[in-house]
Amino acid sequence: MAAWWVLPAAYALDRLLGDPRWLPHPVIGMGKAIAVVEALLRRLCRPRHYRVAGLLLPLTVVGGSFALTWAVLYLLAQVSPWLSAAAEAIVIWTTIASKGLRDAGMEVCAQLRKGDLPAARRSLGMIVGRDTSHLDEPEIARGAVETVAENIVDAIVSPLFFALLGGAPLAIAYRAVNTLDSMVGYKNDKYIDLGWASARLDDVANYIPARITALLLFLGAWMMRLDVKGAVRAVRRDAPKHPSPNSGYPEAAVAGALGIQLGGENSYHGVVSFRAHMGEKTRELRGEDIPHAVGLMFFAANVAVLLGTLITVWVNGGWHWI
C-alpha cells in the first residue's frame, strides 16, 4: 500500500482545487483513446463480431491505463520514493471530483435562492442529460439532488475504494471503466453490442462501493440528525427498483434521509422516460435540499478517507511516511 498520507493528500487537493483547467486531466486522454480504439474496432470487425470486439475495449483502455500509470510511478520511484508518492497523490486527486460535484449542485441552489429559474435551468442543464427548459423549482431541485447523490459513488467512494486496494494505478483503471461506460455503455443500436462489456464492467466495479456508500450515508443521516430510519427503509424498498444496480443505493439513501422523493418523469430530447421513485414524498422538494445532499456527500467522503487512512496504517504496520 502507499504511504498513509497519500489518500488524504489526494482528497485535500480535490477539496481545495477541484479540477483546475491548467492541469491535464486523465479523462481527456482516456476519451481520446476510447474514440481511437472504437474506430479501429469498427473498421476491423464486422457488425456480427461487435459483441466479441466489445471485450477488447475495456481490455485495451482499462488495462492500458493501469499499465501506463504503474510504469510511470515505478520509474519515478527509481529516482525518489518521495517523488513517486507525491505523483501517486496527484494521480488519485484527478480521479476524485467532490469539489466539482459540490460546485455544480450549489450553483443550481444559488440561482434558485435568487428566484432566477431560467438561470437555474441552465445550470442544471450543464450537469444532467434531461431537458430542463420547462422545469419548476421542485423539479430543478430534484435534478440537482439526484446528480449529487448518484455521483457520490462514481466521483468519490469508488475512486477512493480502488485507490485503497491498488493505489493510483487501480484508481485510474476505475476511472477508465467509468469513462468507458459514459461513452459507450448505452443500450441503443450503436452500442448495444460494442459497449455491453464496458457497461457490465462498470456495474461490477461499483457494486461494493455503492453499498458502502449507502452505509456511510446512513451514518451521515444519524450524525446530521436527519431521518436515518427513512434512509434505511428507502434503500431496502426502493434501491432495487432503480434501472442501475448501483445508483439506487445512494439516491434512495439521500431521499430517505431528507424525507423527499426522487425519481419520476424525465424528458430526453422530447421523449418522456419514467424512473422508479426513491423515497417517500412527505413534502415538495426545494432548493435548500441541495446543500443538505452536499452535506451528506461530504460526510460520506470524509469518513471514507478516514477509514481508508486507518486501514492503510494498519496494513502497513504504522504511520510510515514512505
Q: What is the pLDDT of residues 120-152, one digit of tens each?
A: 999 999 999 999 999 999 999 999 999 999 999
Indicate the pLDDT class of residue 22, thresholds 50, 70 and 90: confident
Give the model's pLDDT for residue 260.
Answer: 97
Using one digit for the tens of pLDDT, what is the confidence trace for 77-127?
999 999 999 999 999 999 999 999 999 999 999 999 999 999 999 999 999
Label residue 187 by pLDDT band (50, 70, 90).
confident
- Say what the pLDDT of residue 322 is: 87
Is 21 a domain residue?
Answer: yes
154 located within any domain: yes
In the structure, what pLDDT confidence band is assigned to residue 21 with cuts at 50, 70 and 90?
A: confident
Residue 51 lies in a domain: yes
The pLDDT of residue 221 is: 98
Q: Is residue 86 part of a domain?
A: yes
Evaluate if residue 275 carries a pLDDT over 80. yes
Asked, for residue 174, whether it belongs to a domain, the answer is: yes
Residue 75's CB is within 10 A of a number of other CB atoms, namely 12
* Residues 24-42, mean pLDDT to the nearest whole number: 94
The whole-chain average pLDDT of the chain stands at 96
Q: pLDDT-based confidence at 23, cuts 50/70/90?
A: confident
34, part of any domain: yes
Q: Is the pLDDT of residue 28 over 90?
A: yes
With cut-offs at 50, 70 and 90, classify the pLDDT of residue 155: very high
> 183, 40 in Cβ contact below 8 A?
no
94 belongs to a structural domain = yes
The total domain count for the chain is 1
Has residue 1 got a pLDDT over 80? no
Q: What DSSP state is assigned to residue 97?
A: -
Is the predicted pLDDT of residue 52 greater than 90, yes or no? yes
In a domain, 321, yes or no: no
Listed in sequence order, the residues at least 6 apart from 152 whose beta carbon sits closer than 8 Å to its beta carbon are 101, 213, 217, 250, 296, 297, 300, 301
Cell digits of residue 36: 481511437
Closest CA to 224 of 141, 305, 300, 282: 300
Distance between CA atoms of residues 256 and 43, nearest Å: 48
Supply the pTM of this predicted model: 0.94
Residue 270 — very low, low, confident or very high, per pLDDT cuts 50/70/90? confident
How confident is the model over 10-22, as a mean pLDDT? 94
In sign, the C-alpha dihedral spanning 12, 15, 20, 25 is positive
**Averaged pLDDT for residues 215-235:** 98
